Amino acid sequence: MKKISMLFIFCIGLLFLPLSIKAASFSVSASSYNVPVGSTVTVYVKGSDLTGRVDVSSSNNSIFSGGGYKWIENDTVSFKFTAKTAGSVTITVAPAKGTANSSGQIVNLSSKTIILKSYIPRALSSDNYLSSLSVDGVELVPSFDKDTTGYIVDLEPGTTSINVDATKANKYASVSGTGKISVKEGSNEINVVVTAENGAKKTYTITAVVKEYAPINVTLGNRDFTVVRKKEELIKPEYYNDTTIKIGEDYVPGFYNERTGYYLIGLKDVTGSVELYSYNATKKTYSSYTSLEFNKMNLIILEVDESKLPKGFEKDSITLNKKVITCYKNYELGITLIYGKSIITGEENFYAYENTDLTIQKFNNDAYDKLNEKIQLYSYMIVGLGSLILLILICLIISKIVKKVKLKNKKSEIEKTMNIDINKIKKEAKKDKNLEKLKKQQEKELKKAEKEKKKLEAKIEKQNKKRDKKQKNKEKDDNMFYL
């Protein structure tokens, strides 16, 4: 009983021991199982928890030769076999004796086999013909023949794509250049290429001619235009949507802006230059379209009746972005206005243009009118003040003239009262003037004579002094003689 209990406890204990049992194995595969004669095939041996040598052999080396042995250590090894002749062989993979798992335990594994077949390849086909060639909805000219490689198809105006279908004559050949093909107005060359199995190529060429629409001629002023009928020739402006516009019985591509209500079409001049014009479907008229962007504001430039111009402005023109546009200038105030419609809001207004920084600002006509009223009021005040000053000056001048006349009249009255002969008085005055002149001359002569007299007296006195001195010297000499 005690032995049974001990055995039971031992068995229970084994349940709680960590068990690690590894099963060694391997697998065999090939890069191809059906190999043409002359080609090489690779046989792979993949070991799992396996270490040792593996031998690989062919059951018939005259059909597949190769193989050998390699050491495998929990990895994959490969062996090459070459197909010599057509046939079938068995490739055997056998682990050698002494092969073990990763724990070093010797394992006995059975060999594994795979079947390889070899065949003599056929000659590659050189057939690069088509058995059929067509374009949906139109006929080829000439009719299809496998030996004819050039065809023409005529397409209606406005055609942008066609569907090309082709069938190869040989199943091993390949075909390119079929399916949906884009075309444009004029001649389009489409190449359908057939490549044979051996690589030889043959090209079938379809020339697809898209007819042009009948031209829509337009004359504006002295310039001749044609309406652009190809969408790819037009550049869509910002804030406009693509649309189709009917002109007569024809439809042409164009653009439409819901805010402004503008329809735009392209007109091409004789030089090939394309410009957008506004088209009025009701009036069937074309008008020049100029759109400019100022500080993130897109504006359609318009002309306005001169009767609607603010006071003081005159029609003129300026060049912006190499375009001559109509403007309105007040030369006295140095203001330039542009009339236009906002593409975003559709509102029409005058805009003040600043050429120094190329910006515009909505023109406030009410404020301008008030400013004009003030300027006019100031002008009236200045004119009134000037008139008042002029009137005062005139009054002063008249007063002075009147005063002078009165004085003259009074003088005349006095002269009449005294009965004085004015001419006589003038003669007497002249005579007195002559007498005065004579008197002055006499006084001058008298002064001159007086001066001469004084000079003579001085000379006489000097001579007298000299004589007296001489006399005294003589008397002195006489006295000395008597002594």
**Residue 117: closest CA among 90, 78, 144:** 90
What Cα–Cα distance (Å) separates residue 157 from each residue in 29, 187, 216, 245?
62, 12, 14, 16
Which of 96-100, 176-180, 375-379, 398-402 has the largest mean confidence? 176-180
Find out whether 255 and 241 touch, Cβ atoms under 8 Å. Answer: yes
Share of the chain above pLDDT 70, in %: 84
The confidence score (pLDDT) of residue 481 equals 45
Confidence of residue 308 (pLDDT cuts 50, 70, 90): confident
Flag the least confident range among 57-66, 122-131, 176-185, 393-402: 393-402
Say yes or no to pLDDT of 470 above 80. Answer: no
Residues 411-428 have a mean pLDDT of 60
The confidence score (pLDDT) of residue 150 equals 96
Find out whether 352 and 335 touch, Cβ atoms under 8 Å. Answer: yes
The confidence score (pLDDT) of residue 309 equals 84
Say yes or no to pLDDT of 2 above 50. Answer: no
Say yes or no to pLDDT of 432 above 80. Answer: no
Find out whether 154 and 211 touch, Cβ atoms under 8 Å. Answer: yes
Which distant-in-sequence residues (6+ apart) come within 8 Å of 420 by Cβ?
Answer: none
CA distance 321 to 308: 27
Residues 211-226 have a mean pLDDT of 88
CA 175 to chain centre: 45
CA distance 47 to 27: 7
Residues 135-159 have a mean pLDDT of 94
Flag the least confident range among 270-274, 349-353, 375-379: 375-379
The confidence score (pLDDT) of residue 418 equals 55
Flag the least confident range among 8-12, 208-212, 257-261: 8-12
Q: pLDDT tens digits, residue range 5-34?
A: 555 554 454 444 444 445 788 999 999 999
In 63-221, DSSP assigns E strands to 64-66, 68-73, 76-83, 87-95, 112-119, 130-135, 150-155, 161-168, 174-176, 179-182, 186-195, 201-210, 217-220
302 or 475, which is more confident: 302
Residues 353-379 have a mean pLDDT of 71
Instruction: Identify the helix (H) or strand (E) that includes residue 323.
Output: strand 323-330
The confidence score (pLDDT) of residue 210 equals 92
CA 464 to chain centre: 123
What is the phi/psi pair of residue 56, to 5°?
-125, 130
Share of the chain above pLDDT 90, in %: 38
CB atoms within 10 A of CB 211: 13
The confidence score (pLDDT) of residue 50 equals 87
CA distance 478 to 482: 7
Say yes or no to pLDDT of 205 above 60. Answer: yes
CA distance 126 to 169: 11
CA distance 419 to 31: 163
Which of 204-208, 260-264, 347-351, 401-405 has the largest mean confidence? 204-208
Structure tokens at 268: 């091409």
CA distance 362 to 28: 86
The confidence score (pLDDT) of residue 95 equals 92
Say yes or no to pLDDT of 237 above 50. Answer: yes
The confidence score (pLDDT) of residue 393 equals 84
Find out whether 323 and 312 touch, Cβ atoms under 8 Å. Answer: no
Residues belonging to the chain: 483
**Residue 153: closest CA among 166, 165, 142, 169:** 142
Find out whether 162 and 90 touch, Cβ atoms under 8 Å. Answer: no
CA distance 438 to 167: 149
The confidence score (pLDDT) of residue 422 equals 55
CA distance 421 to 428: 11
The confidence score (pLDDT) of residue 13 equals 47
Q: Is the peptide bond before 142 cis (omega within 30 degrees of 0)?
A: yes
Q: DSSP characters for 16-62?
A: TSPP-----EEEEEES-SEEETT-EEEEEEEEES-EEEEEEEES-TT
Find out whether 311 and 265 touch, Cβ atoms under 8 Å. Answer: no
Instruction: Identify the helix (H) or strand (E) that includes residue 342.
Output: strand 335-342
Find out whether 100 and 141 touch, Cβ atoms under 8 Å. Answer: no
The confidence score (pLDDT) of residue 21 equals 47
The confidence score (pLDDT) of residue 17 equals 41
| Helices and strands counted in the chain (H then E) | 3, 30
Residues 233-238 have a mean pLDDT of 89
The confidence score (pLDDT) of residue 323 equals 81
Find out whether 57 and 92 touch, Cβ atoms under 8 Å. Answer: yes
Q: pLDDT tens digits, residue range 336-362?
A: 888 888 888 888 888 888 877 777 787
Round the average pLDDT of the chain to a whole number and report it.
Answer: 83
CA distance 261 to 266: 17
End-to-end CA, the chain: 220
Q: If phi over 0 gives left and psi between -120 and 50 gives alpha, with beta otherwise, what is residue 150? A: beta
65 or 454, which is more confident: 65
The confidence score (pLDDT) of residue 206 equals 97
**Residue 245: closest CA among 282, 277, 281:** 281
Instruction: For the chain, state the CA radius of gyration.
Output: 66
74 or 457, which is more confident: 74
Find out whether 352 and 336 touch, Cβ atoms under 8 Å. Answer: yes
Find out whether 208 and 188 touch, Cβ atoms under 8 Å. Answer: yes
CA distance 480 to 483: 5
Say yes or no to pLDDT of 369 above 80. Answer: no
Structure tokens at 464: 């007298």
